[in-house]
């Protein structure tokens, strides 16, 4: 299962259309949940209306169990298909306090304010105007507050990404145990929310308290969370990865020349090395905006056919903005028998920073030789195509 993020196609027409459809139903759901009213949203802080807790916990549980389900079946590779954020404990605590403070005072968050604006709420418009001004102020002050923004980076490393932390690892328990515990906590919160509403307003509040629907819904969540370990393909994958064929393939992949640094690529292209073919695997729209000179634009789905037709005896260098998607494509092509494919170290961003960034804008001085090389690279790669 591929996502638009995994395909590096977030700016494609299909992704924009999917966003439009998802956004429409998301906004509809928020409006139906009463999130077009700041009074109802702020009710959670006065224990009069617990809709925020119930809606948010429902969304969390559905997303968590859904991702775990598809991941357990081997249908979704989370490290490559889902964007994950590093964990900055200090920044998150400070940001959470500021967010909660603003949430309680205004009764809005950015998403619900958009729903309120669509409903014609003036206070939502005022809130969004303040949010825009605050965002501008944040960007202007970023050089000053950058240490706070990156304060408290986690020491964990997940998916080979330093700073990416998961709660179950912090707690020292298994992922499946955490899923079950978190689901049980959500169930308790659902019942607690209904109880609080019932206690505050015995006549109208807590409509679902002790109802057949709430019992069935909570039981279903617990059953799904408890059954996830039974459908996990982890043991099968572990067994498969230990087979001689797979082990040999992985050894070959890891031992192959899998990277080419930006300086080497720049020099080889500058000297018109005909044995190197550079392939840009980004969406065509990004390729048209800027690409490395002489690079060809080939989409991921077309790579096997392209390499088979144009591979020859030369080297094919794949690049995108970063390294993740080219590296995945390179490994897959190697397993298909193409051993002349490599990736550009640090991707296009690294190439721009290393080879095309003016010497005068660099944070550290460079040697005269390096300055001359950068000047030559800039003259070649930034000159109009002939």
Q: Is residue 117 part of a domain?
A: yes
Residues 6+ apart with CB under 8 A from 206: 194, 195, 196, 197, 198, 199
Share of the chain above pLDDT 90, in %: 41
User: In this structure, what are the phi and psi dihedrals at residue 162, rounded to the nearest 5 degrees?
Assistant: -60, 135
Whether residues 75 and 211 share a domain: the answer is yes
Can you give the pLDDT at residue 241?
Answer: 40
- When divided into structural domains, the chain yields a total of 2
Rounded to an integer, the average pLDDT of 27-40 is 89
pLDDT tens digits, one per residue of 113-148 = 999 999 899 999 999 999 999 999 998 998 888 888
Whether residues 133 and 19 share a domain: the answer is yes
* Backbone dihedral region for residue 331 (phi beyond 0: left; psi -120 to 50: alpha; all else: beta): alpha
Rounded to an integer, the average pLDDT of 28-48 is 89
Mode of pairing for the β-strands spanning 157-158 and 161-162: antiparallel
Whether residues 214 and 151 share a domain: the answer is yes
Q: Is residue 252 part of a domain?
A: no
The label of the residue with tokens 């039974």 reads 230
Please determine, for residue 242, whether its predicted confidence score (pLDDT) is greater than 70.
no
pLDDT tens digits, one per residue of 148-193 = 888 998 888 777 677 888 898 888 888 889 999 999 999 999 999 9
Q: How far, in Å, CA of 147 to CA of 88, rounded?
A: 11
Which one, of 244, 248, 253, 247, lies nearest residue 338 by Cα?
253
Question: Which residues are 315's β-sheet partners?
Answer: 276
Q: Is residue 245 part of a domain?
A: no
Please determine, for residue 245, whether its predicted confidence score (pLDDT) is greater than 60.
no
In this prediction, residue 311 has a pLDDT band, given cuts at 50, 70 and 90, of: low
Q: How far is CA 95 from the centre of its chain?
A: 19
Q: Is residue 3 part of a domain?
A: no
Residue 377 sits in a domain of what CATH number? 3.40.250.10
Q: Is residue 6 part of a domain?
A: no
In this prediction, residue 257 has a pLDDT band, given cuts at 50, 70 and 90, of: low
In this prediction, residue 313 has a pLDDT band, given cuts at 50, 70 and 90, of: low
Compute the mean pLDDT over every residue in the chain, rounded to the nearest whole number.
Answer: 85
Whether residues 218 and 262 share a domain: the answer is no
Whether residues 222 and 271 share a domain: the answer is no
Which one, of 329, 306, 288, lies nearest residue 7 by Cα?
329
Q: Is residue 356 part of a domain?
A: yes
Residues 6+ apart with CB under 8 A from 81: 1, 2, 3, 5, 6
Whether residues 25 and 112 share a domain: the answer is yes
Whether residues 261 and 128 share a domain: the answer is no
The label of the residue with tokens 């572990």 reads 238
In the three-class reduction of DSSP (H, G, I as helix; E, B as strand; rest coil), residue 341 is classed as strand
Can you give the pLDDT at residue 385?
Answer: 64
Whether residues 372 and 225 share a domain: the answer is no
Share of the chain above pLDDT 70, in %: 91
Chain length of the chain: 386
Which one, of 346, 343, 354, 348, lies nearest residue 259 by Cα?
343
Burial (CB < 10 A; 0-12, 13-18, 19+), residue 10, is: middle
In this prediction, residue 232 has a pLDDT band, given cuts at 50, 70 and 90, of: low
Q: Is residue 346 part of a domain?
A: yes
pLDDT tens digits, one per residue of 78-117 = 877 888 888 999 999 999 999 999 999 999 999 899 999 9
pLDDT tens digits, one per residue of 218-227 = 999 999 999 9
Can you give the pLDDT at residue 183?
Answer: 95
Whether residues 173 and 76 share a domain: the answer is yes
Can you give the pLDDT at residue 160?
Answer: 66
Whether residues 371 and 307 share a domain: the answer is yes
Structural element, H or E, at residue 203: none
Whether residues 112 and 224 share a domain: the answer is yes
In the three-class reduction of DSSP (H, G, I as helix; E, B as strand; rest coil), residue 252 is classed as helix
Please determine, for residue 60, whether its predicted confidence score (pLDDT) is greater than 90.
yes
Range of the domain at 320: 257-381
Residue of higher predicted confidence among 290 and 385: 290
50 touches 43 (CB < 8 A): yes
Please determine, for residue 231, whether its predicted confidence score (pLDDT) is greater than 90.
no
Q: How far, in Å, CA of 301 to CA of 186, rounded?
A: 41
Q: Is residue 4 part of a domain?
A: no
Can you give the pLDDT at residue 2?
Answer: 80
């Amino acid at each position: 299962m591929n996502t638009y993020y995994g395909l590096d196609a977030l700016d494609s027409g299909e992704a924009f259309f999917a966003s439009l459809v998802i956004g429409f139903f998301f906004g509809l759901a928020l409006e139906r949940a009463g999130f077009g009213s700041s009074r109802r949203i702020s009710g959670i802080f006065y224990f009069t209306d617990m809709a925020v807790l119930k809606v948010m916990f429902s969304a969390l549980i559905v997303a968590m169990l859904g991702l775990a389900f598809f991941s357990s079946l081997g249908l979704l590779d989370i490290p490559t298909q889902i964007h994950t954020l590093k964990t900055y404990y200090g920044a998150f605590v400070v940001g959470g306090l500021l967010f909660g403070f603003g949430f309680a005072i205004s009764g809005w968050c950015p998403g619900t304010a958009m729903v309120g604006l669509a409903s014609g709420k003036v206070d939502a418009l005022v809130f969004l105007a303040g949010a825009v001004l605050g965002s501008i102020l944040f960007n202007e002050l970023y050089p000053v507050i950058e240490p706070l923004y990156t304060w408290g980076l986690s020491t964990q490393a997940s998916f080979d990404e330093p700073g990416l932390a998961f709660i179950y690892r912090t707690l020292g328990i298994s992922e499946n145990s955490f899923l079950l515990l978190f689901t049980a906590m959500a169930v308790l919160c659902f019942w607690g929310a209904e109880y609080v509403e019932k206690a505050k307003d015995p006549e109208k509040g807590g409509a679902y308290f002790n109802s057949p629907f709430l019992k069935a819904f909570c039981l279903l969540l617990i059953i799904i969370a408890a059954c996830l370990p039974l459908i996990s393909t982890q043991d099968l994958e572990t067994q498969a990865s230990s087979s001689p064929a797979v082990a040999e393939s992985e050894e070959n992949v890891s031992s192959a020349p899998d990277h080419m640094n930006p300086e080497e690529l720049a020099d080889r292209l500058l000297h018109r090395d005909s044995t190197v073919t550079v392939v840009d695997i980004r969406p065509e729209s990004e390729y048209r905006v800027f690409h490395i000179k002489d690079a060809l634009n080939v989409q991921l789905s077309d790579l096997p056919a392209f390499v088979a037709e144009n591979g020859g005896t030369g080297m094919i260098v794949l690049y995108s903005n970063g390294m993740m998607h080219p590296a995945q494509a390179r490994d897959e092509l190697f397993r298909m028998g193409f051993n002349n494919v490599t990736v550009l170290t640090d991707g296009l961003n690294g190439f721009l920073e290393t080879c095309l960034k003016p010497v005068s804008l660099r944070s550290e001085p460079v040697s005269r030789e390096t300055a001359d090389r950068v000047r030559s690279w800039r003259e070649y790669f930034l000159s109009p195509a002939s």
